[in-house]
């Protein structure tokens, strides 16, 4: 009887092991299919900005200074949409990161997906309806100290995926924002003002940029809504 009992346990263990192997194989197969078809197996998220209290401390540490001149400014001095690997440039990498159900071709350009703009609540299914916003606009950066930077540092700012400097948003809303700072423009979604201010301060703090008095006041007010 003991022998039969051991045999039954062995058969049971083998069946459980076979079932586990089958489950793992199916999961791996599904992942490989998704990658082959250009689908994102799981949606990534933009970098989380510092908390309101941390951002408030960072804001206090920004040097207060009137905005500088636009003399010499050119977007070409901020090389952007550089290669980010996997055949993706920076714009395409952000579209993959910020969208839902994104599928791409071999060139990384999205062929399918949905993008929800946190600035205005808009939802879009065509990549052409979406812009990649520089939270701190390049021209604003120029006036806040970037005019004195090396081109390599300006390129880093223009393509930085490690901090909250890039965001997929409705194209005409991004165009409406232009190069305005928070004293002159804030997202129409008032519930997003806290996050927007935290991101803005994070970028300026990271790169040691300056902020004028009106800008600081607007950011302090937005952080007060958190």
Q: Where are the domains of the chain?
A: 1-36, 45-223
- What was the pLDDT predicted at 18? 47
Place of tokens 């022998």: 3
Residues belonging to the chain: 226
- What was the pLDDT predicted at 5? 40
Q: Please, is 95 exposed, middle or buried when counting C-beta atoms within 10 Å of its C-beta (0-12, 13-18, 19+)?
A: buried
- What was the pLDDT predicted at 79? 97
- What was the pLDDT predicted at 95? 98
- What was the pLDDT predicted at 118? 97
- What was the pLDDT predicted at 44? 62
CA dihedral 57, 120, 143, 98 (to 10 degrees): 80
Local confidence pLDDT in tens for the 226 residues of the chain: 444 444 443 443 444 444 434 433 434 333 333 333 333 333 467 899 999 999 999 999 999 999 999 999 999 999 999 999 999 999 999 999 999 999 999 999 999 999 999 999 999 999 999 999 999 999 999 999 999 999 999 999 999 999 999 999 999 999 999 999 999 999 999 999 999 999 999 999 999 999 999 999 999 999 999 9
What's the whole-model pTM score? 0.81
Find the angle CA(134)-CA(140)-CA(142) to the nearest 5 degrees: 110
CA dist 140 and 40 (Å) reads: 33
Q: Which pair of structure tokens corresponds to residue 69?
A: 């001149």
Backbone angles phi, psi at 184, to 5 degrees: -115, -15
- What was the pLDDT predicted at 176? 98
């Amino acid at each position: 009887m003991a022998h039969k009992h051991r045999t039954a346990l062995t058969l049971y263990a083998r069946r459980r092991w076979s079932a586990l192997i089958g489950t793992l194989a199916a999961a791996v197969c599904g992942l490989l299919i998704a990658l082959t078809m250009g689908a994102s197996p799981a949606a990534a998220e933009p970098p989380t900005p510092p908390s309101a209290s941390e951002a408030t401390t960072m804001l206090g540490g920004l040097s207060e200074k009137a905005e500088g001149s636009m003399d010499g400014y050119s977007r070409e001095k901020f090389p952007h949409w550089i290669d980010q690997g996997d055949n993706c440039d920076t714009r395409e990498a952000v579209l993959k990161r910020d969208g839902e159900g994104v599928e791409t071709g071999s060139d990384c350009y999205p062929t399918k997906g949905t993008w929800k703009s946190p600035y205005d609540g808009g939802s879009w299914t065509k990549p052409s309806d979406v812009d990649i916003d520089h939270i701190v606009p390049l021209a604003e950066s120029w006036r806040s100290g970037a005019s004195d930077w090396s081109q390599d540092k300006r390129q880093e700012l223009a393509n930085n995926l490690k901090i909250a400097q890039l965001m997929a948003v409705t194209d005409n809303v991004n165009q409406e924002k232009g190069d305005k700072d928070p004293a002159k423009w804030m997202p129409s979604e008032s519930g997003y003002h806290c996050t927007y201010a935290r991101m803005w301060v994070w970028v300026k703090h990271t790169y040691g940029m300056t902020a004028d008095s009106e800008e600081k006041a607007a950011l302090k007010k937005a952080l007060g809504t958190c």
